[in-house]
Amino acid sequence: MEAAPRNAEGMRSIAYSGTAADRKTNAALHKQLKTFVLHLIVTIKIMTDKKISYLPDFTLSPRIDQVGIEERAARITKRSIKKETKVNGLLLTLNMIDLTTLEGKDTEGKVKQLCYKAMHLMDVYEGLPTVAAVCVYPSMVKTAKKALEGSGIKVASVATAFPSGQAPQSVKISDTKYAVQQGADEIDMVISRGKFLEGEYNFVFDEIAAIKEACGEARLKVILETGELVTYDKVRRASDIAMYAGADFIKTSTGKISPAATLPVTLVMLQAIRDFYYKTGKMIGMKPAGGISKSKLALHYLVMLNEILGEDWMNNKWFRFGASSLANDVLMQLMKEKTGIYQGKDYFSID
C-alpha cells in the first residue's frame, strides 16, 4: 500500500507531539488520531469494495505539460467530421446530454417542461434518441422522476451543497441521501476545492467515499470544478483521488464557474481514466459540463473520447455532456444535414 508511508508519517508526528503535556494539544491529537483511523477504515473499505490492491500517493500523480496537452487537444480539433460520421456523432451527442437546469428560480413547472423536451427533442425529426438524463436540484428530483416515468431517461441530481460544497459533511450526506430517496439515479457531487487546494487530499478522498456510500445504488459523478483548480497537474491529481475514492464518473464543472469544461482539461481527465482503467480494470465515466453549446465543439469532444478511450466509452453509460443549450444547436445541425439548408434559431423550441 503506497499510501502507508504518508500515514505512518502522520502517526510519527502524532507520537512526537504527544510528549507535550498540554491537555489542549492532547485533545487536538486525539482528534487527529481519530481522523486518521477513520481514513484508514474508509480506505480499507474502498479498497475491498473496489478490489484495488493499493492506493497511490496522490502527490505523485503524473505531471502534465501545459503546452503539450494543449497542442494535443488542438490537434484533435483538426479532425474533420463530415457526412454520416457527423450525423451519427450528432445523434450520439443528443443521447449523451444531461439536460440541465440548476437555477434558484427553477420551479416544478419549468422542470416538467424540461422533462418533456428531454423526451421529445423534436418530434418532426424521426428516429431521434432521447437525452441521457435530466439534471436538477434535489428538491426537483421527485417532479422530474415522475415526468420522465417510463422514458428510460435518468434523473440526475446535484448534491453536497452544490455548487460551492461549503457545508459540513453531515449536511452533504443528508443532501445526497435525500436526493436518492426522492428517486435520483445519479448524484453529481462537488469536491471540497478549498481542502484540495490546501493539500488535504485525505479529507477530499474520505468525503467522496462517504458520499459514495450515501449514494447506494445511484451512480456518483464527482465534479472537480476544474476552473478553480487552475492547473492541469491539479486536475489530474483530483481526478485520481476521485476515481480511487469511488467515483463512477468524473466531471469537470458545475457550470457556475468560468472556465468550465475545456478540451485540454477533458483530455487530462480522459487520460486519467485510461490510466486508472489500466491499473484497476475499472471503467470510469467522463462528463464535461458547462460551456459546450455548439455541435462542432461537441463533436471535438467525441473525437477526443474516440481516440483516447475507444469504442467502449462511446455511449451514454460512460460519457455525458452537461449542457442546457447544446441540444438545440445539435438539432439545428441535424436539420441542416437533412435538408441541406442552414437553420434559424426561432424554429427550435426553447425550454
List residues near another protein by CB under 8 A: 51-54, 62-69, 71-72, 78-86, 88, 271, 274, 277-282, 306-307, 309-312, 314
Least distance between another protein and beta carbon 107 (Å): 41
Least distance between another protein and beta carbon 279 (Å): 7
Q: How far apart are CA 299 and CA 77, in angstroms?
A: 9
Closest CA to 264 of 228, 294, 300: 300
Least distance between another protein and beta carbon 278 (Å): 6
Nearer to another protein, 62 or 259 (CB): 62
Angle between helices 263-280 and 232-245 (to 10 degrees): 40
Nearer to another protein, 81 or 167 (CB): 81
Q: Find all residues with CB under 8 Å of 9, minimum gap 6, and list them.
A: none
Least distance between another protein and beta carbon 308 (Å): 8
The 8-class DSSP code of residue 154 comes to E
The identity of residue 347, as a single letter, is Y
Closest CA to 230 of 278, 282, 265: 265
Give the number of other Cβ atoms within 10 Å of residue 85's Cβ.
14
Nearer to another protein, 95 or 143 (CB): 95
Q: Find all residues with CB under 8 Å of 90, minimum gap 6, and list them.
A: 295, 298, 299, 330, 333, 334, 337
Q: Which residues pair with 97 in a beta bridge?
A: 321
Nearer to another protein, 54 or 125 (CB): 54
Active site residue 233: no
Least distance between another protein and beta carbon 288 (Å): 18
DSSP letter string, 268-285: HHHHHHHHHHHHH----E
Nearer to another protein, 104 or 281 (CB): 281
Active site residue 86: no
Which H/E stretch holds residue 100? strand 97-100
Q: Which of 142, 145, 172, 251 is catalytic?
A: 251
Q: Find all residues with CB under 8 Å of 226, minimum gap 6, and list them.
A: 235, 238, 252, 253, 259, 260, 261, 262, 265
Query: Rounded to the nearest 5 degrees, what angle is found at the Cα of 198, between the Cα atoms of 197 and 203?
Result: 95
Least distance between another protein and beta carbon 67 (Å): 3
Active site residue 172: no
Nearer to another protein, 257 or 283 (CB): 283
Q: How far apart are CA 139 and CA 154, in angstroms?
A: 16
Q: Which of 86, 117, 175, 188 is catalytic?
A: 188
Least distance between another protein and beta carbon 13 (Å): 27
Nearer to another protein, 311 or 346 (CB): 311
The identity of residue 285, as a single letter, is G
Q: Hey, which residues are catalytic here?
A: 188, 251, 287
